[in-house]
Amino acid sequence: MKLKWVAAAALAAIGGAAHAQSSVTLYGVVDSGLLYQSTSAASFSPTAKNLGSVYRYKDAGLYSSLWGMKGTEDIGGGYHLNFRLQGSFDSGTGKSGLADTAGATAMFNQYATVGMSGFFGSVTAGRQVVPMAYAMAETDVRSGGYFGSILTAWIGMNTAAGWPGTSTNGPIGALYDSNAIVYESPKFHGASALLEYAPGGVPGSFQGGTRESAVLKYSNYGLNLSAVYYSGHDTNPGPTTVATGLNNNRYWYLGAKYTTLNGISMSASYSNGANPAAKSASNPFGGTSLDLYSAGLGYQVSSALKVTSGVYYLKDRNKSANKSLEVAGGAEYSLSKTSLVYAQVGWVNNHGDMTQTIAYGQPVAPGMGTVAVMLGLRHAF
pLDDT of 283 = 61
What does the pLDDT profile of the chain (381 residues) look like in tens digits? Answer: 443 444 444 444 444 444 447 899 999 999 999 999 999 999 999 999 999 999 999 999 999 999 999 999 999 999 999 999 999 999 999 999 999 999 999 999 999 999 999 999 999 999 999 999 999 999 999 999 999 999 999 999 999 999 999 999 999 999 999 999 999 999 999 999 999 999 999 999 999 999 999 999 999 999 999 999 999 999 998 878 889 999 999 999 999 999 999 999 999 999 999 999 887 655 666 678 999 999 999 999 999 999 999 999 999 999 999 999 999 999 999 999 999 999 999 999 999 999 999 999 999 999 999 999 999 999 999
Question: How many Cβ atoms sit within 10 Å of the Cβ of residue 206?
Answer: 10
Return d(Cα 379, Cα 307) in angstroms, integer.
19
> Of 250, 253, 183, 191, which is closest to residue 224 (Cα–Cα)?
191
Q: Give the closest residue to 259 by CA, choosing from 225, 228, 286, 231.
A: 225
Residue 282 is predicted with a pLDDT of 56
Q: What is the pLDDT of residue 265?
A: 98
Of 96, 89, 149, give the one whose Cα is nearest residue 332. Answer: 149
Q: Residues 6 or more apart from 83 whose CB is under 8 A from it?
A: 70, 71, 113, 114, 115
Contact (CB, 8 A) for 253 and 271:
yes
The answer to whether the beta carbons of residues 115 and 124 sit under 8 Å apart is: yes
For the entire predicted model, the pTM comes to 0.91
Cα(67)–Cα(86) distance, integer angstroms? 6
Rounded Cα distance, 273 and 285, in Å: 10
Cα–Cα dist 200/275, whole Å: 18
Distance from chain centroid for Cα 184: 17
Q: What is the pLDDT of residue 5?
A: 44
**Which helix (H) or strand (E) segment is 267 a member of?**
strand 264-274
Torsion of CA 51, 52, 55, 57, to 10 degrees: 20
Tell me which of 2.40.160.10, 3.65.10.10, 3.40.50.1980, 2.40.110.10 is the CATH number of domain 74-323.
2.40.160.10
Helices (H) and strands (E) in the chain, counts: 3, 17
